[in-house]
Structure 1
Amino acid sequence: MEKMEVKLGSLSFFTLWFGAAISIAEIFSGGLIAPLGFKKGVLAILIGHFLGTFIFVLGGIIGSKEKVSAINSTEKSFGIYGKKLFGILNVLQLVGWTAVMIKSASSSLNAISVELWQFNNNIIWSAFIGVLVILWIWHGNKGIKYVNGVAVTLLLGLMLFVAYFIFKNPAELNKTVEGAMSFGAAIEISAVMPLSWLPLAADYTRQGTSVKKDAIGSFLGYFLGSSFMYIIGLGAAIVIGNSDIGTILLGVNLGVIALGVVVLSTVTTTFLDAYSAGVSFLSITNKFKEKSVAISMTIIGFGLALFFPIETYESFLYAIGSVFAPLFSIVLTDYFILKRKLEKSIKVDPVALLNWIVGVGCYYGFVKLDFVLGATVPVMIIVSTLYIVCRKIFNSRKFIIEDSNRIA
């Protein structure tokens, strides 16, 4: 995939991230919070999204200022090998998201087609979504600025209609939903969704025209869009007992229009996953073209979607948080607080790498602890503090491995 030829302004970033947020994944995630109740659930959604989106935007600012992709921004903190490691992890995350999106979309489309035409074939619907994503990738990035704006407008109108259907009887929101969900876990499930876009944010903001305006557009677009989708999923799980978008759309008698909603919302989001998989792959090796890699990742995602167990979705979200929360805590600390500037590339930085490993362990510790503010924020604060202390204690220039035979 060629580099974007069209510069993106603040409105483009708003529609880009608002469109990314209007997806099945957000609605399904909001449904997971239903056992907490509607009022507490909405509060947790807003808190989690504010914290997660703020962190996500900070990563985007680095791309705006330095004109580098998200994964390439990790090289100054972790070195060349560290960047390659996180490039691999990010590609795996993005392939996972591609599989999740195709799997959930095919399930919803299949439910709709069974109801309308008695057509039942998940594999066909999965392939249909995969082909559309590939066609979007092949067309190129101009779709981000033009087609995505139209898609977001249509989807927003339809989602407002769905929201009216779900919330027209407020008394029904007082229903009790079986299951266990703490306030801290709800915040974490909300925060980890924008966090999952953090390794992608700079891939797009590097094409921006104004650091401040692009950051504001990105924040408002994702915060408003994703919070709205989560709340729809939360309300649907409470009112109708199901957060599957296909079931919801059939419930409001949208018929064939329901198919279009699912297809548009899936393709606009999955395109971003596949595109950034191509960008991240180039941080590992530059022997392939971004477009070819993105198409290949879509095909792999399609294959995985046929076998992906959707019941492991919550664990998938936690896995993303455990890797990228401590990772970007170090990157953001280096850039905004320590302002470290290395004169030449290094192979690997053990201080940063060890702090990241500690952060991964801390993340799962906080998940088990069920902390009231979730795991992402406290772990990022702990890792950042620990990293600053380590940098003060050790002269980083003495603990950087510059090649395989000596230590600088």
Structure 2
Amino acid sequence: MLWSSLGLSLLVLVAGAFLVPALSLPEALLAILVGGIFGNALLGGAAAIGAEAGVPAMVLLRAPLGRAGSYLPTGLNVLQNLGWTIFEVLVIATAAQALVHGPLWVWKLAAAAAATILALLGPVGFVRVWVKRVALWVVLGSLAYLTWWTLHDADLGALWSQPGTGGLSFWQGVDLMVAMPVSWLPLAADYTRFSRSGRGAFWGSAVGYFVPNVWLYALGAILLLSRGLADAPSVITTIATGGGPRRRRDQGAVREHLLRGRLGAERAAARAAAAAHPRGCGGRDRRNVRHRSRQLPELPLPAGLVLRAAVRRAARAVDRGRARPLRRSALPPGTDRGVARRLLPLPVARARRPELVDPLGRSHASGPGSDRRLAAELRPLLRAVARPYACESCERSP
């Protein structure tokens, strides 16, 4: 169970995709099989040694290299694990960005934080609590669906007969396959030192890692060929988005089919409109592009009448408002005469009379000379009222 879960990774799919199309599909599958046998045999041997000794892998190196000599491979092992962690974080972040979008650096931080938490849980606690109970079955179900998704529309006959493009030999493909299980040799004893027997550790690690490793290598090669992908890294984004060139072509064909039916209905409606309007008011005449604004349909008769009446009523109201101050066109020109004319109805108080307010001695009559008569009547009244408050300079003035 443990080694099967360690062999399940998206990075293994990408490694398998590197074998094609340089190798043909039969050559790639054979290289995967041969490399898997050699590599996992070495992995099983390292696991058996760790089970017999009961110590971690780096401690095993003290026997042939000594205590001081084991420090260098220990440091290189730390660098190797750091590199694998970086690769896995990048793969997870790229898949998450392709699936739900967002900044790539956010997903890198999230994946790194999750890896740190899992490391703090410890290998034994992590395997017992998470891998054995939950993660392994979830991953197996996901890979079963991924296998069906890859193979259900793939033309395996055509892919099998497709020749390789060259650039990679068969044994180079075998070496690429061997590299994956061999990378676990410095860590094999860390997991098998608690095994009950060396034989059980050998077969458990060798077979447990061989099955998922060969499965995902082959699946990655078939996925790249069946989807017509440009390169191996695009396998991750294709899996995350559930698409590829073929899927995009299928979606384009469906879209084109739907648009054809819709455009046909639009053309039928346009022909019916042209038949109903012989003048072509609603047509699409490209020669009269400048006059398209004149081809707009007119308003119905009741709406036109209502709008026309409202506009006329508003125009009359504006005219009345403008003409209201100019109704008395018989007024003589001049601002002083207009002001004097408006003062006529006011009663005036005469000096030395008991009445507070007296009417004017003469009523005003419109006509020539009325202003002169008004001035002659008001002059003595104003002088009588202003005399008590006048100054000497005012009295000298004529």
TM-score (norm 2): 0.56
For 2:12, give the aligned amino acid.
E
Q: Distance in 1 between matches of 2:215 and 2:91?
A: 19
2:199 matches 1:208: no
Q: Distance in 1 between matches of 2:158 and 2:108?
A: 34
2:118 matches 1:136: yes
In the superposition, relative to structure 1, how do residues 75 and 237 fare at CA in structure 2: closer, same or farther (>3 Å)? same
Equivalent position to 1:152, from 136, 141, 161? 136
2:146 matches 1:162: yes
Residue of structure 2 in register with 1:224 after alignment: 211
Give CA-to-partner distance per residue, 1:58-108, whole Å, 9 cap, x none: 111111001111121112112222211100111111111111111122112
State the 1:225 CA deviation.
0.9
* Residue pairs, 1:88-127, within 5 angstroms: 88-114=75-101, 119=102, 121-127=103-109
Q: Does the residue aligned with 2:57 lie in a helix, a strand or coil? A: coil
State the 1:245 CA deviation.
2.7
Residue of structure 1 in register with 2:3 after alignment: 17
For 1:144, give the aligned amino acid.
V
State the 1:165 CA deviation.
1.9
Residue of structure 2 in register with 1:191 after alignment: 178
Q: Distance in 2 between matches of 1:152 and 1:246?
A: 23
User: Is the Cα–Cα contact under 8 Å of residues 172 and 239 in structure 1 kept in the other structure?
Assistant: no
For 1:131, give the aligned amino acid.
A
Q: Distance in 1 between matches of 2:117 and 2:171?
A: 40
Q: Distance in 2 between matches of 1:230 and 1:193?
A: 10
Q: Which is greater in Rg?
A: 2
Q: Distance in 2 between matches of 1:112 and 1:83?
A: 44
* Residue pairs, 1:6-405, within 5 angstroms: 15-34=1-20, 35-114=22-101, 119=102, 121-140=103-122, 141-149=124-132, 150-168=134-152, 169=154, 170-174=156-160, 175=162, 178=165, 180-242=167-229, 243=232, 244-251=235-242
For 1:205, give the aligned amino acid.
T
- Paired residue total: 234
State the 1:220 CA deviation.
1.4
State the 1:248 CA deviation.
2.0
For 1:47, give the aligned amino acid.
V
Is there any run of 5+ residues in structure 1 with no aligned partner, and where? 1-14, 254-408
User: Is the Cα–Cα contact under 8 Å of residues 17 and 221 in structure 1 kept in the other structure?
Assistant: yes
User: Is the Cα–Cα contact under 8 Å of residues 55 and 189 in structure 2 kept in the other structure?
Assistant: yes
For 2:16, give the aligned amino acid.
G
State the 1:160 CA deviation.
1.6
| Structure with larger RCO (C-alpha < 8 A, sep 6+) | 1
Q: Distance in 1 between matches of 2:117 and 2:175?
A: 35
Give CA-to-partner distance per residue, 1:153-195, whole Å, 9 cap, x none: 2111211211122123323524456562210110000001000
For 1:247, give the aligned amino acid.
T
State the 1:247 CA deviation.
1.2
State the 1:210 CA deviation.
2.5
Q: Distance in 2 between matches of 1:238 and 1:22?
A: 21
Q: Does the residue aligned with 2:195 lie in a helix, a strand or coil? A: coil
User: Is the Cα–Cα contact under 8 Å of residues 236 and 248 in structure 1 kept in the other structure?
Assistant: no
Q: Distance in 1 between matches of 2:243 and 2:212?
A: 21
Q: Percent identity?
A: 27
Q: Does the residue aligned with 1:36 lie in a helix, a strand or coil? A: coil
Q: Distance in 2 between matches of 1:31 and 1:153?
A: 25
Q: Does the residue aligned with 1:181 lie in a helix, a strand or coil? A: coil
Runs of 4+ in 1 over 3 A off after TM superposition: 174-179
Q: Distance in 2 between matches of 1:181 and 1:50?
A: 20
State the 1:16 CA deviation.
1.2
For 1:239, give the aligned amino acid.
S
User: Is the Cα–Cα contact under 8 Å of residues 52 and 197 in structure 2 kept in the other structure?
Assistant: no
In the superposition, relative to structure 1, how do residues 74 and 235 fare at CA in structure 2: closer, same or farther (>3 Å)? same
Give CA-to-partner distance per residue, 1:289-324, whole Å, 9 cap, x none: xxxxxxxxxxxxxxxxxxxxxxxxxxxxxxxxxxxx
For 1:250, give the aligned amino acid.
T
State the 1:252 CA deviation.
6.5
Q: Does the residue aligned with 2:61 lie in a helix, a strand or coil? A: helix
In the superposition, relative to structure 1, how do residues 172 and 152 fare at CA in structure 2: closer, same or farther (>3 Å)? farther
Q: Does the residue aligned with 1:22 lie in a helix, a strand or coil? A: coil
Query: Could you say what the CA RMSD is over the residues aligned between the two structures, in angstroms?
Result: 1.8
